[in-house]
Amino acid sequence: MQFLRACLLGSCLLLTCNAQAQSDSDHTKKYNPTQEPYTLLWNASVVSDYRSKGIDQTFGLPAFQFELGTLLPNNFYVGTWNSNVSTGAGYPGTFLETDFFAGWTHVIDEYHINTGLYGVVFPGSNVANYVTSPVEPGMSSGLVHNGDVFLAVRKGPVTIQQNVTFTNAGNMLSPTGQSTAGSAYTNLLGVFPVSSWNWLDGQWSVVAHTGYQFINNYSAASYFDWKFGIQTKLDKAWTVDLLYIQTNAKGNCSIAATTAQPYCYNKFQNASGVGSGPTKNAGDATVMLSIKVANF
């Protein structure tokens, strides 16, 4: 499920949520005080499988993603990020995720500080008369959405970020109907350049990440995620990532009828939460390829 991809949110700071994202994103590398205000920044990506905080958002299928933003005076910034998604990932009635973010960034000595708000909406989604059970989460009615506040600090190649959700987490309710507002995501990311690698004339790095998604009032939906891989910048515009991604989220579909497995998804889902099509453990391991082009 998403945030502030984001988070970035601030997920992705979009890691890159990618939230979220984008889920786990670091805007501190994009929106920073050294850039001129009102410079239009954009990037477009194709990914083999969209994962937000380690959870599959496209049922193992590719996604196209686009981000647009700008730095404002006094180190503030605003932007939007978009991706296709699967209705079965908790977004009945839509195949689109749209994120909006606004924040402030500052540099103190070697520390890059980034804080702000990250909102996620799924245009066209509509939850109504959602069917639940003692082992399945519910969803609050209406447009599926998520809102976070975030704080990220980066020093050198390492970023630590904390997101706190002030809405229900993607409209999720506990099986007993309790709100999931107050959920939180902790993200630790390292992107470590390897100067001795010069294949294809690229700038290579090793990427390592771990995160913890806490879902308030619903412990079965909390989980850890991690990823490891390589990244290369082929020139100023193009970046390629190859990442191994995994979680310990509960998504075992073979026991989902009797045991809480909130991350067992159908490929499709209607407004009442009734799934159709094949099922999938949305937190299982995957290898993801990402190709991105950007103007920064």
Q: Among 66-80, 210-224, 264-278, where is mean pLDDT lowest?
A: 264-278
CA distance 58 to 48: 9
User: Per residue in 168-211, pLDDT tens?
Assistant: 999 999 888 899 999 999 999 999 999 887 776 678 999 999 99
What pLDDT score was predicted for residue 138?
80
Name which of 50, 26, 28, 30 is nearest 39 in CA terms. Answer: 30
Report yes or no: 4 and 186 within 8 Å, Cβ to Cβ.
Answer: no
Q: What tokens were used for 203?
A: 């700038």
CA distance 168 to 62: 27
Q: Which helix (H) or strand (E) holds 135?
A: none
Name which of 168, 161, 254 is nearest 212 in CA terms. Answer: 161
User: Which tops the pLDDT comparison, 237 or 28?
Assistant: 237
Q: What tokens were used for 189?
A: 């990311």
Name which of 120, 119, 153, 146 is nearest 26 in CA terms. Answer: 153
pLDDT band at 235 (very low <50, low <70, confident <90, very high): confident
Would you say residue 28 has pLDDT above 60? no
What pLDDT score was predicted for residue 204?
92
Name which of 54, 29, 71, 41 is nearest 157 in CA terms. Answer: 29
Q: Which helix (H) or strand (E) holds 12?
A: none
- In a 10 Å sphere around its CB, with 0-12 CB exposed, 13-18 middle and 19+ buried, how is residue 109 labelled? exposed
Name which of 265, 267, 263, 269 is nearest 246 in CA terms. Answer: 263
User: Per residue in 120-131, pLDDT tens?
Assistant: 999 998 887 676
Q: Bridge partners of 55? A: 52
Q: Which helix (H) or strand (E) holds 261?
A: none
Domain spans of the chain, in order of start? 27-294
CA distance 49 to 58: 6
3-state SS class at 171: helix
Strands 238-247, 286-294: pairing kind? antiparallel
Class (C level, CATH) for 27-294: mainly beta
Q: What tokens were used for 199?
A: 């294949």
Residue 78, φ and ψ in degrees, nearest 5: -140, 155
Mean pLDDT, all residues of the chain: 86
DSSP assignment of 119-175, as one string? EEE-TT--B-S---BTTB-EE-SBS-EEEEEEEEEEETTEEEEEEEESS-GGGEE-T
